[in-house]
Chains A and B, each alone.
Chain A
C-alpha cells in the first residue's frame, strides 16, 4: 500500500485536467451542443493561464484568465453551431487547429520559463485520515474545487430549475421552446461556461501540474476528455472515475519510465491512449443501450424555431 499511495496521489493530480475538461463538455453536451474543440481550448487555456500567472503574479489570476479565454472560444463555437447551425464536428476540428496554432504562436516567447504556480495545501484534520487523506485531501485547491464541481453539477443538473432547463434544451429543444425557454440562449450559456471549464483544465496543466508552458503540452487530453464524456454516460461522478483512471494509467507509465523499465518509453506512452479506446469499447459494448438512452436526444442538432417540417 505504502508504495502504491504516491501513485494514487499523483493519479488524482494527473486526472484533474481531464476532469475539468470532461465536466465542461458534459455541461455543453447536456444542453445539446457538441464541442469537439477541447484540445484547442485546453491549449489556449494552458497558455493564457501560464502567461497571466506570470504577468499577474498570481496563479489565481492565471486561472481566471484561462477561464475567460476559454469562454471566448466557447462563444465562437456557440455562434457557429447555435446561430449559424454549422456542422459541429468540423467546427470542433477547426477549433482544435486554431487553438493549437494560436497557442503555439502566442506562446513562443514563454518557452523555457517557469512560474511558482499553485502550491498544494492540505486540508486540516481530514488530510490526516488514513489513505483517503493523502490521496484526496493533501492536494491543491483546484483539485478540491473539482470535487466540489462534481457534486455541484450533479445537484445542479437534476435538482435545480436552470439545470432542468438545460437538460430540456438538450433533449427536446422544440418542447423547451414551446414552453417559453430561450433555447439558443441556454445553449450559448453552457457552451461558453463549458468551454471555460475546459480551459481551466488546460490551465491546470501549465499553472499547477507542470508550472511551465510547452507547445502542444496537452498531448491529446482534450480528445481523451471527449471520450470520457461518453464513458461517464454524461454523469459527473462517473466522469471523475474516468479522469482518475486516466490519471492512474498516466502516472503508472511515467513511474515505469522513471524507474528505468525495460519497456521503451514510446510504448509506455501509448498506454493512456490505448486505455481510452479500451474504456470506450467497454462502455459501448457493455452498456451501449444505456449510452444511447442517456445521450441528449438533440445532441449536435441545430434548432431553429420557424422551420416547418
Chain B
C-alpha cells in the first residue's frame, strides 16, 4: 500500500472553505494539547477566550476595536503579497505612521478637528509609505531581499518610537511611564456608539471597498496580479515590475501607517511604548487566511481580533504571557498551510 497525491483539476469554493475551517479547528485542538502540557486547562482557556471576545455587546465591541488595525494592516500587506512582494513590515510602518501623527500633534497643533486629523493622516500615510518605500526601492534598484529589510525596519521603528517616548517627547507628568502627553481634543478620532470603536472603522470599510476594486477591476490591480503569478510573463507583456514594486510598497506602507495613526488618535489618545500588540504580524495571517481577498479579510480580522482579546483575558485571568496567543496564531497558520495541500491534491491510496 502506498499513498499518492494527484493534482486536482479544479478546487471548488466550498472545499476551500471546508479545509480552512477544518484546519483552524485542528490548530485549536493542537493548541489545546500544548496548553494542557503547560498545565493550563484548554477548556478553561478557550472558554475564557470565547467569553471575553463574544460574551457581551461590550466584549464584541472590544473585539472590533482589536480587529480594526488588524484589518487595515492586512489590506496593506495583501496588496504586496498579491504581487509576491513580501512586506513583513506592517508593524514598523504602523509605528512610524503613529509617530508621524504624534509629531504633527506636538509641533503643529491646530484647533479645527478636520484640519488636525487630515494633517495627521497625511503625515502618517507619508511616513508609512516612506518606511516601506525604502525597502521597495532597495529591492527594485539592487534586488535587496525585502523580507529582511522590512523586518529590520520594524526593529528600527520600534527603537525610534522608544527613543521619542523615553526621551524628548516624554510627558513630564507621566511618573516615568514612556508616553507622550495626551493629544489635544482636535487630534482625537471620535468614538462611536458609546464604545471604544472609533471613526477609523468607516475608513476601514471605505479602504476595503477601494482595495477590492483596485485589485480586481483596475489595470493596476491586473498588473500586480500578473506580476504575482509570473513575473516573467509580466515583463514579457511590457510591465515595469521594478517601478511597480516601489509603488506597491509605498501604498502598502501608507495604508499601514494610516492604521498606526488610527490607533493613537482613535484609541490611545497619546503615543506610548508598545502600543501595537504585534498587529503587523497578525495582519499577515489575516491576509493569508483570507486568500488575499479584501472583503474576506474583514471577517478573518474580526476572528483574529477575538483571539487577541482572548489573549489579553488569558494574561489577566490566568496569568499567561500575552504572547501565548501567538502560539495559536502560529498553529493556525501551520494547519491552514498544510490544508492547502489537500485543496490542490487528492490523496489516493494504492494497493500493491
Contacts and interface: CB of A to CB of B under 8 A. Distances in A.
B230 interface: no
A179 B288 CA distance: 37
Contact of B166 (A106, A220, A230, A266): A266
B162 A80 contact: no
Interface string B132-156: 0000001001111101110111011
A102 interface: yes
A268 to B, nearest CB: 9
Q: In terms of DSSP, what is the predominant structure of the interface of chain A? A: helix
Contacts of B88: 93
A65 to B, nearest CB: 16
A84 B337 contact: yes
B338 interface: yes
B68 to A, nearest CB: 21
Contact of A101 (B86, B149, B323): B323
Contact of B152 (A80, A87, A223): A223
Nearest to B323: A104
A96 B333 CA distance: 11
A226 B144 contact: no
Interface string B214-235: 0000000000000000000000
A90 B328 contact: no
A281 B143 CA distance: 8
Contacts of A224: 152
B156 A90 contact: no
Interface residues of B, number: 51
B337 A270 contact: no
Nearest to B342: A84
B155 A100 contact: no
B247 to A, nearest CB: 20
Interface stretch (A115-123, A160-168, A272-280): A272-280
B330 A95 contact: yes
A60 interface: no
Contacts of A40: 330
A115 B341 CA distance: 44
Best-buried of B141, B149, B163, B330 by chain A (most CB within 10 Å) = B330
A167 B162 CA distance: 44
Interface in A95-128: 95-102, 104-106, 108
B324 A105 contact: yes
A288 interface: yes
A288 B327 CA distance: 37
B284 A220 contact: no
A266 B163 contact: yes
A97 B5 contact: no
Interface residues of A, number: 54
Contacts of B166: 264, 266
A93 B321 contact: no
B159 interface: yes
Best-buried of A86, A105, A276, A306 by chain B (most CB within 10 Å) = A105
A297 interface: no
Given A95-B330, A269-B159, A307-B7, A101 B143 contact: no
A108 to B, nearest CB: 5
A304 interface: yes
Best-buried of A97, A99, A215, A285 by chain B (most CB within 10 Å) = A97
A85 interface: yes
Interface string B323-344: 1111111110110011011000
A264 B168 CA distance: 10
B324 to A, nearest CB: 4
A284 B337 contact: no
Best-buried of A85, A96, A270 by chain B (most CB within 10 Å) = A270
A122 B284 CA distance: 47
Interface string A63-104: 000000000000010011000111101110111111111101
Contacts of A51: none
A270 B155 contact: yes
B145 A101 contact: no
B26 interface: no
A227 interface: yes
Nearest to A43: B323
A101 B329 contact: yes
A288 B143 contact: yes
A284 B143 contact: yes
B330 A87 contact: no
Interface of B: 4-5, 7, 34-35, 38, 86, 88, 138, 141-145, 147-149, 151-153, 155-156, 159-160, 162-163, 166-167, 281, 284-285, 288, 319-331, 333-334, 337-338, 340-341
Interface of A: 36, 40, 76, 79-80, 84-87, 89-91, 93-102, 104-106, 108, 215-216, 219-220, 223-224, 226-227, 230, 264, 266-267, 269-270, 273-274, 276-277, 280-281, 284-285, 288, 291-292, 304, 306-307
Given A220-B151, A276-B148, 12 more contacts: A36-B147, A89-B86, A90-B337, A100-B326, A101-B327, A101-B330, A215-B323, A273-B155, A273-B156, A285-B144, A288-B142, A288-B143
5 contacts: A93-B88, A97-B333, A104-B324, A106-B38, A284-B138
